[in-house]
Amino acid sequence: MSKLFDLSGKVAVITGGSRGLGLAMAHGFAAHGADIVIASRKLDACRAACEALQTEYQVRTLPVAFHAGKWDDAARLLETVDQSFGRIDILVNNAGASPLYSSLAAVSEELWNKTLDLNLKGPFRLSVLAAERMAQVGGGSIINISSAGALMPSVHELPYAMAKGALHTMSATLSVLYGGKVRVNVIVPGAFLTDISKAWTDDVHRRIRSGVPMGRAGDPSEIVGAALYLASDSASYTTGAVIKVDGGVAFSRG
């Protein structure tokens, strides 16, 4: 299995990689030989994650303070990666958030802009700049982390769902523009037991148990296989794909 998903010699950049699904993917990639760049707003958390990866897997790591919603931070991140590693082979656009609001009418322009910046504008800029670099050195893999809300949004997350839906469009278009050189794919997670799940109410847990065909939320480790496949040469004929990792969700949420 390790040979099937061998990432030795590759450099993987994971935004929002200091916790949750991003950190789970970082561990999966490092376990298969990749050097890891953890890019997130909290540098201390990035450093802690990198130290743990280095100790456990003996790979090279780099923590970078990075705001996924800021246009200019994309170029700065990639320049920092170039200075340390000289290349980027894998990009995971994982950073994202869905700010709360009381009603659609209460959505402010500030919340709207913040949501679209973080979940769409930033990933677009970073993906394009990374793809250009990857294409120049023979190729690479971009994995955009979406949300089940992009396919079945609720009234409580519409701006977020719209941004993630546009992320699908962006990924499909980039997969065509860069052809076989840079593969661009989407993973659509459902409910996962990350640190944010600690704030879920009993009602949320009940809705997951009744609404998800598998009857439960996922463990972060359960997204790693899909990410490893898309990051590795095993997916050499896979681009423009949308892979759902959601426990079989097939219900209308609202």
Q: How far is CA 108 from CA 21, 91, 115, in A?
A: 29, 31, 11
Distance CA 172, CA 106 (A): 32
Residue 91 pairs in a beta bridge with 13, 142
> What 3 state SS string does 110-150 have?
HHHHHHHHHHHHHHHHHHHHHHHHHHHCCCEEEEEECCHHH
Q: Is 13 helix (H, G, I), strand (E, B) or coil?
A: strand
Distance CA 39, CA 17 (A): 6
Strands (E), the chain: 11-15, 35-40, 61-65, 90-93, 140-145, 182-189, 242-245
Residues assigned a catalytic role? 160
- State the residue for tokens 């089940």: 148
Please name which of 147, 127, 141 lies closest in space to residue 230, comparing C-alpha atoms. Answer: 141
Q: Is 62 helix (H, G, I), strand (E, B) or coil?
A: strand
Distance CA 21, CA 222 (A): 9
DSSP state of 15: E
Do residues 161 and 169 lie in contact, with contact meaning Cβ atoms separated by under 8 Å?
no
